[in-house]
Amino acid sequence: MKIIVTGAFSYSGRYIAQRLLAAGHSVATLTHRRGGPDDLFGGRVATLPLQFEKPEELARSLEGADALVNTYWTRFGQPPLTFEVAEQNSRTLFAAAKQAGVRRIVHVSVSNASVDAPFPYYRAKARVEALLAESGVFHAVLRPTIIFGGPDDILINNIAWALRRLPVFGVFGGPQCKIQPVCVEDLAALAVEQCGGTENVVLNAVGPETFTFRELVAAVARTLGLRRVLLPVPEFAGMLAGWIIGKIQHDIFLLPDEIRMMRAGLLHVTTPPTGPTRLTDWMGAHAAELGRAYSPSRAAR
């Protein structure tokens, strides 16, 4: 098949494009970039402009595609790319895909997306899912939790980075603060599988292990062979620590709402796992390099 991926030079899009190529598909990407780091795909992925402001040209770029895998979104929701702008851009993309005759859209959303969620990120994600359903194009919605894996992993790597440098690590949340991470390779495999689907489906993309935040940090420390004091802290202290690290790194280490999302249990689902890769196994295989360098979040996703 001919498959177009939005953001094939970003984190999850990169692994999806690699999987598609390995499966023998023809792959192109809609992107604002003009090339990936170190020519990731050896020239095998055609680059097309992601022009939301020119819907007719966007539709022409999508012509001939059997499927569109959409990873487009924003983590931060800050001007000029607010969640509202990302919603409108998604509407434009889905309409262009329908106009171009794309048979199927595989869309990457987020676990527990809901228009009634207490967080703008989750409400916006749910509204985009509704836009996709209204588009009339056959589709699959994939709902990942926390994604890990690869040399450009962010959350797990940066927890390891902090543990390597700090004798004390503040943890927040209780038993309700559950996290069920999914490997980016497993998410990519699910996306590739769904490109050939024929039904409208919504699937949770989750791994086989569940942790509280404290258990997650403790697992990272054990993997690195580090003895660290895990100090229970109130939510505001976690936000302050994240802000300080972000200032030091000229980055956003952890958003306040992301702490609240974890506390609310939105990074956990009750359905069976769809990915086989265990976080503890992956960390064990990459312990030597995990956390050696800080992984910036602004350049990813």
Percent of the chain surpassing pLDDT 90: 80
CATH number of 149-179+208-285: 3.90.25
Residue of 156, 171, 179 lying closest to 292 (CA atoms): 156
DSSP 181: -
Which residues are CB-contacts of 169 (< 8 A; sequence separation ≥ 6)? 162, 163, 217, 221, 228, 229, 230, 231
Higher pLDDT pick, 32 / 185: 185
Amino acid 259: pLDDT: 85
CA nearest 140: which of 83, 206, 95, 203? 203
CA angle 28, 34, 36 (to 5 degrees): 75
Residue predicted with more confidence, 236 or 61: 61
**Residue 203: strand pairing partners:** 142
> pLDDT tens digit string along 62-90?
999 999 999 999 998 999 999 999 999 99
Domain ranges of the chain: 2-144, 149-179+208-285
Residue with tokens 């919603």: 87
In angstroms, the first-to-last Cα distance of the chain is: 25
Give me the chain's average pLDDT, please: 93
Look at residue 35 and tell me whether its pLDDT is greater than 70. no
The alpha-carbon radius of gyration of the chain (Å, integer) is: 19
**3-class secondary-structure state, position 297:** coil
Q: Is the dihedral of CA 273, 279, 285, 286 positive or negative?
A: positive
294 conformational bin, left if phi > 0, alpha if psi -120 to 50, beta if neither: beta
Q: For residue 41, is pLDDT > 70?
A: yes
**pLDDT category of residue 37 using cuts at 50, 70 and 90:** low
- Can you give the pLDDT at residue 298? 56
pLDDT, position 36 = 54
**Comparing 2-144 with 149-179+208-285, is the CATH topology the same?**
no
Domain 2-144 is found in CATH 3.40.50.620: no
